[in-house]
Amino acid sequence: MNTLTHSAWTILEELAEVKVADARELVADATYELSRISKQKLQLLELLDEYKEKLIESQTDVHSITDNIAYRHFIKQVNDLLEVINKEERDAEKILNDREELLIDALKEQKKAEFLNERQALIVKTSEKRSEQKRLDEIGIARFNQSSHHGLSES
């Protein structure tokens, strides 16, 4: 019975380990996605800065009205993309935070399962020691009785 209980706790601990591994993988995926989105955002910001400089340069040249209009249009498109990417970034951050919370919960469950498994193993070990001591005591008593009985029959 005790070894069966011990096995159940071991299985629960192993399941908790699997849950932690899965949660870590989800966190890694979310971290990668957030990183990818952040890189895209940085590229868009660099592009925006570049075209703002081009717009400023084109405004000093009287003959570049079409360039000026094109730069303004492109800057608007990049700003629209930045709005989209900012939303994606916020969503990715929320997903990452949620997954980190799941990982924390899984780690807590794993620690609890480890503790319970260790506690059960200690209970089993203590029970086995008591049983062994009881057997040794019974053997000792039986030998004592046998020697006492043997000693009485010789007298």
Q: What is the CATH number of the domain that holds 64?
A: 1.10.287.1700
Q: Is residue 34 part of a domain?
A: yes
Q: Is residue 149 part of a domain?
A: no
Q: Is residue 133 part of a domain?
A: no
Could you tell me the two tokens for 40? 């895209």
pTM of the model: 0.69
Q: Quote the domain boundaries for residue 81.
A: 2-118
Quote the DSSP letter at residue 63: T
Q: Is residue 112 part of a domain?
A: yes
Task: Give me the number of domains the chain comprises.
Answer: 1
Q: Is residue 131 part of a domain?
A: no
User: CB–CB of 100/49 below 8 Å?
Assistant: no
- Residue-level pLDDT at 39: 97
List the pLDDT tens digit at each of the 155 positions of the chain. Answer: 455 656 788 888 899 999 999 999 999 999 999 999 999 999 999 999 998 998 888 877 766 778 888 888 999 999 999 999 999 999 999 999 999 999 999 999 999 989 988 888 888 899 999 999 999 989 989 888 888 766 555 55
- Residue-level pLDDT at 5: 59
